[in-house]
Amino acid sequence: MAFSLTRLGFIGLGLFLLAGEQAFAQQPQRLAQAVPTNPPAAAQTQAQPQGPIRLELIGTQSQWTKVCGHDQAANKDVCYTTRDFSTQANQPPVLAVAIYDIKGDDTRIVRMLMPVGLMLRPGFRFWIDKGTTMDGAFEICFPNGCFAEAKIKGATVDEMKKGTTLNVAVRNQANNEVTFGVPLADFGKTFDGPAVDPKVLEAEQKKFQEELQKRAEEERKKLEAQRQSTGGAAPPVAAASPPPAKK
């Protein structure tokens, strides 16, 4: 299901942006794993909540991707520069970022696909390196993730081009702050460069999905082998620690 662009004020971008939006919205359903909600065992004995969490991300593709199309309704050219990120190499993405650039408009839009399991009402905060903090809001959620976005000016995009890290702070179900560190290497080069051929983009996405499916099948075979080696019994599950006694 593609995410509607109507809320952004431009629709009908055609197959260029439709294909990109579908890929952006159909990330693997492991996004929630990026947002830890349970404190470590050592912290369970403490009455105070767990402190802030920081996750340094890496790109799941070799580089950023720029996709362009034409909005027939507004008669404007629109491009977006996007990349998926994960906590480990060769793992499904846990967060996706896209910067939308409408020709002739100084206002840009930063859109992110966030993991599920977050507190939506606080929205999110973001800043570049140690720069000024900006606010954004969640727009809509799907079973595999939630879209969040904010309007930014050209000056902020210029900071991203020169910056090292885009910091994105959210709150999880335990009301702990989780900050994603998104690397900005080569963002400016791709943002200012030519758009990718949509056929090439489609081929890359297909290849990535095939790799994910292959790894999932390998994991399934490993679990099946373990089950057979234990006589068909499921692997033992560690008992949960009892909650601390109330004082």
Q: Which residues of the chain have pLDDT under 50?
A: 1-34, 37-49, 236-247
What does the DSSP assignment read for the chain? Answer: -PPP-GGGT----HHHHHHHHHHHH---TTGGGGS--SPPGGGTT-SSPP--EEEE-EESSSS-EEEEEEETTTTEEEEEEEEEEESSTTS--SEEEEEEEETT-SEEEEEEEEPSSB-STT-EEEEETTS--EEEEEEEEETTEEEEEEEEEHHHHHHHHH-SEEEEEEEBTTS-EEEEEEE-TTHHHHHHSPPPPHHHHHHHHHHHHHHHHHHHHHHHHHHHHHHHHTTTPPPP-PPPPPPPPP-
pLDDT tens string 51-70? 789 999 999 888 999 989 88
pLDDT value at residue 213? 80
Q: Which pTM was predicted?
A: 0.66
pLDDT tens string 138-180? 999 988 889 999 999 999 999 999 999 999 999 998 899 999 9
pLDDT value at residue 76? 86
Domains of the chain plus CATH, in order, are 6-34+50-198 (2.60.40.1880)
